[in-house]
Amino acid sequence: MKRTVKFGIFGLGRGGSFYNTVLLNNGEIVAVCDLNEKKLADAKKHLGDNLATYTDFDEFINHEGLEAIFLCNYFHEHAEYAIKALKKNIHVLSECTSNGTMAEGVELVRAAEGSQAIYMLAENYPFMKFNREMRRVYQSGTLGQVLFAEGEYNHPMDYTGLDLQEWRMLHPYAKHWRNHLPRTYYVTHSLAPLMYITESKPIRVTAFAANIPYPKEWAHPFNGDRAAIISCLNDDGSVYRVTGCASFGAHENSYRICGTKGQIENIRGEEKVLLRYNKWDVPENANRTSVYNPEWNDPQARLIDQAGHGGGDFLVIREFFDCIRENRLPMFDVYFATTMASVAILAHRSVLEGGRPYDIPDFRKEEDRKEYENDRLSPFYGKDGSAPTLRTSSHVEDIPTEEDMERYDRAISEIK
């Protein structure tokens, strides 16, 4: 039996969906933290009256015996809390993006390097069955060296047949981060699987946005960019083409790895993979073309299949706990995480500047940290209500007026 990890969760909206997965991985949830008292009460109903509940993060991380936390708060606000935990040598699992600004990335890396605790990004898409299979095939060497890879996370929403209750839940006020999210920023679901499969690291980025304004009704994104198409030059000479969270075509996430000898991809909209070799490079006892459903080949396959995001949620928790138990660093460590965040942030600047290339810093190097340690440009409103310092859209015309914001908040308040 693997030893128990004493675990805490910060942010019970997304975090509440992990209760069973944590318990199935022999984690003990000893404390939770959220500003919403109802969510705290619901957590006690699910996890028992002995659960400690907090509304203050500083009190939460001082909970006796707490050894690891899961950050499930707002998308771009993780770094501040990760740093506080790392300074107390508490292991950190962080959802979404590791840092919302370049300066936070520098601060996060410095905190992780000075801590005895482990930092891991909770990126779940690489652990999907077809992505694990693509890593297995690529790492076997039969595809040769990667030359080009594609990753798409495509998540369109219906703004005409809108479920207003769901909209209010996801976009509860005009200044909420989702209403001001640049299309490059939510890049982890498209980029992380490629980095996981090939282990190639982006070193330069350029990007363009596809912009078609939404109908001018109250319930629409303020950003008319439907997608950002991001190109990354990598440290091994290969190139990635990825999207952030895009809104074109049909809902899907798809990936393709092209090597010097062949290629592998998941068939769009399915779990099947398509594996093809050049006719002069077919491995012995292999078919030139294969279409098949990959298997987990894992003793916990039944539990993985029951978890969210194609089993990725279970495997993220398992990997994090195993890293703690075995005192080893995860692949999705602080450098992996801040590299992806840098791609997201600098790709948006490329969009705003007509595709200007940006070099991706390596935060292992002090000279790269120095360049960005005071860079706090952000498209989001601050927790204190301070205005964004970058526009969200590639088009100046998309910037919402005060009247737009007020109309939005009035409409939200009128939803029954």
The CATH number for 359's domain is 3.30.360.10
Helix, strand and coil content of the chain, in percent to the nearest 5, comes to 35, 20, 45
Whether residues 174 and 60 share a domain: the answer is: no
R_g (Cα) of the chain, nearest Å: 22
CATH of the domain at 12: 3.40.50.720
Q: Give the domain range for residue 229.
A: 125-295+335-372
Whether residues 99 and 129 share a domain: the answer is: no
Neighbours of 395 (CB within 10 A): 15
CA 288 – CA 2 distance, rounded (Å): 42
Question: What is the reported pLDDT for 168?
Answer: 83
Question: What is the reported pLDDT for 218?
Answer: 62
Q: Which sign, positive or negative, has the C-alpha torsion 137, 347, 384, 371?
A: positive
Coil, strand, or helix at residue 132?
helix
Coil, strand, or helix at residue 224?
coil
Whether residues 61 and 181 share a domain: the answer is: no
Whether residues 136 and 282 share a domain: the answer is: yes
Residue 272 within a domain: yes
CA 176 – CA 261 distance, rounded (Å): 47
Whether residues 135 and 274 share a domain: the answer is: yes
Nearest to 265 by CA among 297, 291, 239: 291
Whether residues 53 and 190 share a domain: the answer is: no
Question: What is the reported pLDDT for 116?
Answer: 98
Whether residues 255 and 140 share a domain: the answer is: yes
CA 271 – CA 128 distance, rounded (Å): 9
Phi-psi region of 89 (alpha: psi -120 to 50; beta: other; left: phi over 0): left
Q: Cα-flanking dihedrals φ and ψ of residue 260, to 5°?
A: -75, -15
Question: What's the average pLDDT block by block, 10 residues per block, for the chain (416 residues)?
Answer: 93 93 96 97 95 98 98 96 98 96 98 98 96 98 98 84 78 92 96 98 98 76 91 98 92 95 94 96 96 93 85 93 97 98 98 98 98 98 94 92 90 84
Nearest to 320 by CA among 336, 305, 331, 335: 331
Count the domains in the chain: 2
Q: How far apart are the first and last CA of the chain?
A: 49
Cβ within 8 Å of residue 158, ≥6 positions away: none
CA 263 – CA 268 distance, rounded (Å): 15
Whether residues 27 and 131 share a domain: the answer is: no
Whether residues 32 and 145 share a domain: the answer is: no
Residue 148 within a domain: yes
Residue 147 · residue 358 · CB < 8 Å: no
Residue 159 within a domain: yes
Considering 100, 121, 142, which residue would you say is the last residue of a domain? 121
Whether residues 208 and 153 share a domain: the answer is: yes
Residue 207: burial class (beta carbons within 10 Å; 0-12, 13-18, 19+): buried
Considering 77, 101, 121, which residue would you say is the last residue of a domain? 121
Nearest-5° angle of CA 214, CA 218, CA 224? 25
Residue 189 · residue 343 · CB < 8 Å: no
Spell out a b/e string for 134-154, using b for 16 or more CB atoms within 10 Å of the CB, else e.
Answer: bbebbeeebbbebeebbbbbb
Pairing of strands 239-246, 225-234: antiparallel
Residue 341 within a domain: yes
Residue 291 within a domain: yes
Residue 381 within a domain: no
Instruction: Give pTM, 2 decimals.
Output: 0.96
Residue 28 · residue 49 · CB < 8 Å: no
Residue 10 within a domain: yes
Residue 247, both tokens: 């809104």
CA 7 – CA 411 distance, rounded (Å): 39
β partners of residue 53? 32
Residue 408 within a domain: no
Whether residues 60 and 87 share a domain: the answer is: yes
Whether residues 141 and 164 share a domain: the answer is: yes
The DSSP secondary structure of 318-345, one letter per residue, reads HHHHHHHHHT---SS-HHHHHHHHHHHH
Considering 121, 155, 175, which residue would you say is the last residue of a domain? 121
